[in-house]
């Protein structure tokens, strides 16, 4: 019976010994909620712009993926931290879009309009995509660059 209760002692009458059967359950206390506050503000703005829980009705996966990628692009390549319209961080918008996609995978499978490997031929190129960079082979083919790196190292 003791293994059932992850915390406390059901047979004790001591203050603070309350039992809770949390063994093996998800620990939400590990989630850094302060990092989700911006995402919550994005959703609050969405409530005003569209309607509360509008996103939960589902839509084509590509619409959400496109929004996700625009926010990541602006943050990564343009080094723009904050969305002009909402003034929330682009990464908070990205988090919201990822949550939407996760929801759609579970609840709106008919919106799954990913192109698939047979159309894109991506599976045939996945080995190339994951091929590691061989620095030694590169430097063997480019002795001038090898010399440049050696000279930099010598001058440190």
Residue 64 has pLDDT above 60, yes or no: yes
Residue with the two structure tokens 């045939």: 124
pLDDT of residue 118: 75
What are 68-122's pLDDT values in tens digits?
Answer: 999 999 999 999 999 999 999 999 999 999 999 999 999 999 999 998 777 777 7
CA-to-CA separations, 152 to 11, 140, 147, 149, 155, in angstroms, rounded: 70, 17, 9, 5, 5
**Confidence bin at 3 (pLDDT 50/70/90):** low
pLDDT of residue 76: 98
What are 12-25's pLDDT values in tens digits?
Answer: 888 887 887 777 78
């Amino acid at each position: 019976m003791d293994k059932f209760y992850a915390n406390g002692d059901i047979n004790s009458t001591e203050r603070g010994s309350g039992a809770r059967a949390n063994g093996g359950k998800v620990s939400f206390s590990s989630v850094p909620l302060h990092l989700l506050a911006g995402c919550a503000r994005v959703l609050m703005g969405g409530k005003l712009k569209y309607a509360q829980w509008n996103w939960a009705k589902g839509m084509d996966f590509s619409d959400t993926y496109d929004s996700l990628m625009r926010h990541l692009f602006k943050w990564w390549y343009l080094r723009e931290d904050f969305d002009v319209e909402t003034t929330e961080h682009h990464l908070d918008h990205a988090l919201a879009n990822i949550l939407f996609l996760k929801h759609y995978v579970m609840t709106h499978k008919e919106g799954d309009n990913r192109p698939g490997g047979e159309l894109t031929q991506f599976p045939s190129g996945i080995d190339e995509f994951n091929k590691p960079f061989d620095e030694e082979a590169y430097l063997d083919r480019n002795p001038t660059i090898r010399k440049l790196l050696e000279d930099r190292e010598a001058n440190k």
